[in-house]
Structure 1
Amino acid sequence: MKMESIKETQKKYCSRALFTAIVLFFVFYLCKLIPVGKGLLLGTIFSVINFVLIGFGLPMKMGKTRKNVFFLSLGSIFIRFLLLAIPIVAAIKLKQFNLVAVVAGLFSVQLVLLSDHLFNLILSKRQKQL
């Protein structure tokens, strides 16, 4: 996979996830649920960083031995788990972030990816029916 296509994919899904989180933040803000909005936004930001790190690590694994790829993958997972722990710990320690919203935000890029895939699948099935 080329680095350009990885960056295009990251830009597409991360920008959609951030846009959705910002819109939902304002909705929660207007409903006076500020900790929920902040938690969702915090989780989404860390979800985006995690997704970018995944894409950054893919080209590093090309052309390496199986042993090197194993240790690179293990190190990558460890670093990304530590990264994802930061907003969870912050939500537990600080009252200004809602823990459930942070966890939901951590899955935001994956949810955007899944919804895009389902939307394209439904659209292609409808076009075949016509």
Structure 2
Amino acid sequence: MEGIRQTQKKYGSAALSFAIITGFIFYLVGLVPICKGLILGTLFSILNFVLMGETLPMRIDRSKRSVFVIALGSIFFRYLLMAIPIVMAIRYEQYDLFAVIIGIFMVQLMLLADHLLKFFKDRIKYKN
């Protein structure tokens, strides 16, 4: 369980830091809706990632039916959760829809960037 929390903290912090820095740049340029959308989407992305990690232990040592119901309920709830920032961006002009969608994928982008960085570092290390 501690490993899951460390992973959540690592990628959640990276995603939020990147969103804040990028959002601040958009804010300075005068693109406030993009700034707000990016941060809003990222916050919900982190919340989704944390909920995913919290439901993992609930699936251990359970019957197949119980695991299926928990997994299906978790997915349904997390999809509803992801709909909130999208609906907000559609209804309110103060959030940019495209930025919200990018923010929703921010944790996944940080995971991908981390693994690509490790891959290229290892490749350069073994090449020399």
- SS at 1:97 equivalent: coil
Normalised to the residue count of structure 2, the TM-score between the two structures is 0.99
Give me the whole-angstrom Cα distance separating, in 2, the residues matched to 1:25 and 1:104.
Answer: 12
Give me the whole-angstrom Cα distance separating, in 1, the residues matched to 2:64 and 2:115.
Answer: 31
Give me the whole-angstrom Cα distance separating, in 1, the residues matched to 2:4 and 2:58.
Answer: 13
Give me the whole-angstrom Cα distance separating, in 1, the residues matched to 2:111 and 2:10.
Answer: 9
Query: Which portions of structure 1, spanning 4 or more consecutive aligned residues, are displaced by more than 3 angstroms?
Result: none
The reply on whether 1:67 has 2:65 as its aligned counterpart is yes
Give me the whole-angstrom Cα distance separating, in 2, the residues matched to 1:19 and 1:61.
Answer: 31
The Cα of 1:65 is off from its aligned counterpart by 1.0
Gaps of 5+ in 1: none
The structure 2 residue matched to 1:55, chosen from 41, 49, 53, is: 53
The reply on whether 1:18 has 2:16 as its aligned counterpart is yes
The reply on whether 1:43 has 2:41 as its aligned counterpart is yes
Task: Give aligned pairs, total.
Answer: 128
CA RMSD of aligned residues (A): 0.4
Gaps of 5+ in 2: none
Give me the whole-angstrom Cα distance separating, in 2, the residues matched to 1:57 and 1:121.
Answer: 30
The Cα of 1:25 is off from its aligned counterpart by 1.1
Normalised to the residue count of structure 1, the TM-score between the two structures is 0.97
Q: What residue in structure 2 maps to residue 114 of structure 1?
A: 112
The reply on whether 1:83 has 2:94 as its aligned counterpart is no
Percent sequence identity over aligned pairs: 52
Q: What residue in structure 1 maps to residue 99 of structure 2?
A: 101
